[in-house]
């Protein structure tokens, strides 16, 4: 099986350990004819503001930085090339890393973007939008955000779906998420489990309607989610013991179940919300970046078009 042929690996110049490269190489070793591209976006604002230097001198300084960073990428690539992997390297001077990553993906047909991630301070999450968040919203290809969790043999891949979705887009995304999880499981010899969160009974309904029975309501909601997840699981050959329906918010439930199962990877969909709603609300994938202790593979809907393509 060939799942990924052309993987873009985002290198972090601030980190000594390149977890994204290690993970991408692991995947590449299990694929036939797959290749990696080590990609680094660099920028130094002071170079642009130095009025004492001519345009030619500033360009020479940029070229020198790019040359130095390219040599570093070549050093990173060397041990993996010695193992027989096909690896390219590329350094770009760009002041918006997420744009350069997505544009590189679009221009060169990369079918997977792999990037290391780490904890985002909460204050920064409010004031700034990290590159990870931009990629979650706007990267059209599968995005694998890597942490330090191992990928053991016979491990667990957790596919997070919205089982009660009735519109075609979300139903198609459920299928895409599950197919992707199953394909990854075949490639790395893992098992797939399904997770579906269902909402708690709204408190205001129980208070405003005297005859309302919250227990009956919750049981009915849970049964519907269980029935729909069972139908989805049967469709994709995932046994009942690997189907999990848990009450609560998805951003709370998914990390909880992932930890209980010691999952190595969570696969979910992200709708790519942008604009004011993205700044104020975010989405499930974004809330999960910090709370998950394992890798996250984020997928877009089938007909998704990145804002950089418009």
- For 205-238, the pLDDT digits (tens) are 655 666 667 778 788 889 999 999 999 999 999 9
Q: What is the mean pLDDT of residues 104-110?
A: 97
Domain spans of the chain, in order of start: 1-116, 149-310
**Domain 1-116 classification at class level:** alpha beta
pLDDT tier at 51, thresholds 50, 70, 90? low
User: Could you say which of 3.50.50.60, 3.60.110.10, 2.40.110.10, 3.40.50.12370 is the CATH number of the domain covering 149-310?
Assistant: 3.40.50.12370
Fold match, 1-116 / 149-310: yes
How many Å apart are CA 308 and CA 194, to the nearest integer? 32
- For 117-162, the pLDDT digits (tens) are 876 666 555 445 588 888 998 999 999 999 988 899 899 999 999 9
Model confidence at 287: pLDDT above 80:
no
Q: Does pTM top 0.85 for this prediction?
A: yes
Mean pLDDT lowest for which of 135-149, 168-182, 198-212, 268-282?
Answer: 268-282
């Amino acid at each position: 099986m060939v799942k990924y042929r052309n993987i873009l690996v985002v290198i972090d110049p601030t980190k000594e350990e390149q977890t994204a490269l290690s993970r991408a190489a692991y995947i590449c070793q299990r694929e036939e004819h797959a290749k990696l591209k080590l990609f680094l976006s660099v920028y130094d604002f002071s170079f642009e503001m130095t009025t004492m230097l001519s345009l030619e001198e500033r360009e020479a300084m940029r070229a020198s930085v790019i040359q130095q960073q390219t040599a570093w990428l070549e050093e990173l690539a060397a041990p993996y090339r010695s193992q027989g992997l096909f690896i390219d390297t590329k350094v770009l001077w760009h002041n918006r890393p997420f744009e350069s990553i997505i544009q590189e993906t679009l221009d060169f047909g990369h079918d997977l973007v792999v990037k290391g991630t780490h904890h985002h301070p909460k204050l920064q999450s409010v004031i700034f939008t990290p590159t990870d968040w931009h990629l979650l919203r706007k990267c059209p290809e599968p995005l694998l955000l890597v942490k330090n969790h191992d990928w053991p043999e016979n491990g667990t891949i957790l596919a997070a779906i919205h089982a009660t979705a009735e519109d075609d887009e979300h139903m198609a995304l459920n299928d895409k998420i599950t197919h992707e999880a199953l394909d990854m499981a075949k490639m790395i010899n893992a098992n797939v489990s399904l997770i579906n969160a269902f909402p708690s009974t709204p408190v205001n309904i129980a208070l405003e309607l005297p005859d309302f029975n919250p227990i009956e309501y919750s049981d009915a909601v849970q049964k519907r989610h269980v029935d729909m997840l069972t139908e989805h699981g049967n469709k994709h050959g995932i046994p009942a013991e690997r189907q999990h329906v848990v009450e609560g918010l998805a951003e709370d439930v998914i990390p909880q179940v992932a930890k209980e199962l010691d999952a190595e990877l969570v696969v979910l969909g992200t709708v790519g919300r942008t604009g004011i709603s993205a700044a104020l609300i975010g989405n499930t994938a974004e809330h999960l970046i910090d709370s998950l202790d394992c890798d996250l593979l984020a997928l877009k809907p089938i007909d998704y078009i990145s804002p950089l393509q418009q």
